[in-house]
Amino acid sequence: MIEVAGLHKRFGATKALDGMSFTVRPGQVTGFVGPNGSGKSTTMRVILGLDAADRGKALVGGRPYATLRTPLLHVGALLDAAALQPSRSARNHLLWMARSQGLDARRVDEVLETVGLAGVARRRAGGFSLGMRQRLGIAAALLGDPPILMLDEPVNGLDPEGIMWIRGLLRGLAAEGRAVLVSSHLMSELEGTAHHLVVVGRGKVIADTGVAELIAAASNGRVGVRTPEPERASAALVQAGGTATVDGTGLVKILGLASERVVAVLGAAGVPFSEIAAERATLEEAYMELTRSSVEFRAEAAR
């Protein structure tokens, strides 16, 4: 478990963290999402003791990171995939880390296999593509078989196959009971990966919610109707208190009315229709819905 409570951090005039508080629970992937500059990396750096907070606390497994004697056995982190010694081979890079934690070479070979780098393990890491560096960074995070994983924008630089791979990996790690925190500035990157979301803007949490609940709430009152008379249908539905948009193929999309109500309204107005379906919001749409009311968040996102 990761616990962050009331973190404040300033860099000169910039307020990077402004009361950041949340918990990352075991057994699920928690997406840490917000626009660029909203404080995600700073929070992760504070959790790892790389930056000191001005106020507040950050605990991993109930303890401050700095007090852990073999930290890689408690928390695996990928913050900056470029942070490696370019002349060292991938295997030597991991061996060096492993030895510092009392781990052996066998574990290094295991994680190289897990991330798909076994075939290039003896090549200089400096010549690796961004995607390969990401994989090497993930191998390093997995080295100590930690119960907590924290990855800052791990999808960055990965091709579609790599993205699918990392989604499966993160879900698998959570299914093993680990607490997994993964940041992204794009909600779409977390679709199909995160079970839970901590949405941040300007250094604090805007929403802390389950993905399923978020989508269910945003889907409530979204209905699509196919009709030969879209204009009449729209007028009747708007009068009944919904909002309606027509997409040009005769499909009217309605917000704010349940499907039973849509059927009743169209029936009363004598508007024929051939199809009606309740629609499920995408994660991206749910996110927009969630952040619409947050003026601060909008201002931040528009910068």
Ligand X SMILES: Nc1ncnc2c1ncn2[C@@H]1O[C@H](COP(=O)(O)OP(=O)(O)OP(=O)(O)O)[C@@H](O)[C@H]1O
With CB under 6 A as the rule, give the number of residues binding ligand X: 12
Contact status: 14 vs ligand X (CB under 6 A): yes
Q: How many CB atoms lie within 10 A of CB 124?
A: 15
Contact status: 185 vs ligand X (CB under 6 A): yes
In angstroms, the Cα distances linking 75 to 52, 142, 173, 207, 259 are 18, 9, 13, 25, 47
Tell me which of 1, 11, 231, 296 binds ligand X, using CB under 6 A.
Answer: 11
Residue closer to ligand X (CB basis): 14 or 220: 14
Q: How far is the CB of 105 from ligand X (least distance, A)?
A: 34
Question: In this chain, which stretch among 32-40, 226-234, 241-249, 289-297 interacts with ligand X, using CB under 6 A?
Answer: 32-40
Contact status: 26 vs ligand X (CB under 6 A): no
Binding to ligand X (CB under 6 A) within 36-65 occurs at 36-42
Question: In this chain, which stretch among 8-16, 83-91, 107-115, 273-281 interacts with ligand X, using CB under 6 A?
Answer: 8-16
Contact status: 34 vs ligand X (CB under 6 A): yes
Contact status: 8 vs ligand X (CB under 6 A): no
Q: Which residues bind ligand X (CB under 6 A)?
A: 11, 14, 16, 34, 36-42, 185
